[in-house]
Structure 1
Amino acid sequence: MSRKLGGNILVTGTNRGLGLELVRQLIQVTSNKDHIYACCREPEGSGAEALRELANENPKRITVIKLGSIEKCPENFHIAPMYAYRTSKAALNMMTRCQAEDFREHHILATAIHPGWVQTDMGGKEAPLTSQDSVQGMLSVMSSLSDKDSGNHLDWQGNSIPW
């Protein structure tokens, strides 16, 4: 059974790329009573201009705030051997698992969703997915989540990914 997306939604990495596109599409598919918390490293920096503009257009709906598979590493390390980035993602994965357990009694789902290889500044032009397609897929997955998905790692199409 699918759910309507809504309530308080936290999105990280929203100054550009997928995070920014996710906020753009969430504004379109959620109601006026729903709120998006858009996290970004430097909300006042030049790289967050588009996010600030979107937040200024939707001041009652967006608040800008300053808050990868380990098993699959051998398959793609040679493409992107970014230690710091990979380590930060592993930490976020553990945080997702911990939040899933911590928030379960409050019926709050915590799920990590991999966006796929996307045509962004980081993904490059060779990537097969556009930001729009990736975000549409992730929103579809999010709207179909249930209690059984809490604490899991899924891709943008809803397929399970090993931690």
Structure 2
Amino acid sequence: MAYVVTGSSRGIGLELVRQLAERGDTVVATCRNPSKATELQKIQEAFPRLVHTIPLDTISQESIDAAVESVQKILPKGITVLINNAAINDPPRSSASKASMQELTEKFHTNVSGTVAVTNAFLPLLRKARENGSPASIIMVSSDSGSLKMRLDSGASDSIAYFCSKAGLNMASISFANELKKEDIKVLILHPGWVQTDMGSMAATLTPQESITAVLKVIDSVPNGETARYVNWKGESMPW
């Protein structure tokens, strides 16, 4: 299997690259500055034939196009799985009545617009994999924050920009799933759990290793499952 993983410099993206390489998969690991991603470089050095690192800024079309060109050279037969993991939830995390246009725009730019742009750019390589007889899947790393029902039930009003961006990502994912269904390119919307990362904090309930060990089992099931599923790291359905 041939994977492209965005946001690979740390957290669950880094752990995805590590575990995929350990089980023998080919991985193109992308992030804005691979040369500064020390832990990612260590994985690449440990698995030089399996792990390839390339720069990708998901909110720069020029960077996206250059990344696709690089991946075409590395994986000329196409990619079987695109994992859209890159996202931000930097402060401020304002409530609805206090959120600025800048805060909303920044989070939507990365979490929705950038993800859509990356997916569109890599579609030809996913289609190439299908033409060569391999399955092709798009994994959208979302969150329980994208669930309207869970937000309503919780009574929370903070972090409106992040929550709206993840709900928007879920809608974009459904749109891709509907459009690509006839080509048998599956889309999975994934909540990886509350994970001990820079974004999730050390108070989170899952380590990256625990999350990704379970997540990979779910990802492996995608080719034989229904498209447009919204599930957690254990494969359990999430409420929309």
TM-score tier by shorter-chain length is 0.7 to 0.9
Measured at CA, do residues 13 and 92 of structure 1 come closer, stay the same or move farther in structure 2, by a change above 3 Å? Answer: farther
SS of the residue corresponding to residue 148 of structure 2 reads coil
Alignment of 1:121-132 (within 5 A): 121-132=198-209
**Which amino acid counterpart does residue 71 of structure 1 have in structure 2?**
K
8 Å CA contact retained: 1:43, 1:52 = no
Structure of higher RCO (CA pairs closer than 8 Å, 6+ residues apart) = 1
Q: Distance in 1 between matches of 2:154 and 2:9?
A: 26
Residues 1:14 and 2:4 aligned together: no
Question: How many pairs does the alignment contain?
Answer: 151
For structure 2, the 5+ residue unaligned runs are 58-117, 119-145
SS of the residue corresponding to residue 72 of structure 1 reads helix
Give the RMSD, CA atoms, in angstroms.
2.6
Measured at CA, do residues 85 and 155 of structure 1 come closer, stay the same or move farther in structure 2, by a change above 3 Å? Answer: same
Q: Distance in 2 between matches of 1:139 and 1:77?
A: 32
**Structure 1 match to 2:152:** 74
For structure 1, the 5+ residue unaligned runs are 1-5
Name the one with the larger helix percent: 2
Shift of 1:162: 2.0
Measured at CA, do residues 43 and 76 of structure 1 come closer, stay the same or move farther in structure 2, by a change above 3 Å? Answer: farther
How many percent identity over aligned positions? Answer: 35
**Which amino acid counterpart does residue 20 of structure 1 have in structure 2?**
L
Q: Which has the larger radius of gyration?
A: 2
Query: Could you state the TM-score of these two structures normalised by the residue count of structure 2?
Result: 0.54
8 Å CA contact retained: 1:109, 1:147 = no
**Structure 2 match to 1:112:** 189
Query: Could you state the TM-score of these two structures normalised by the residue count of structure 1?
Result: 0.76
8 Å CA contact retained: 1:137, 1:156 = yes
**Which amino acid counterpart does residue 15 of structure 2 have in structure 1?**
E
Say which of 61, 84, 104 aligns to 2:161. 84
Q: Distance in 2 between matches of 1:60 and 1:91?
A: 33
**Which amino acid counterpart does residue 161 of structure 1 have in structure 2?**
M
Q: Distance in 2 between matches of 1:147 and 1:101?
A: 17
Say which of 20, 28, 48 aligns to 1:58. 48
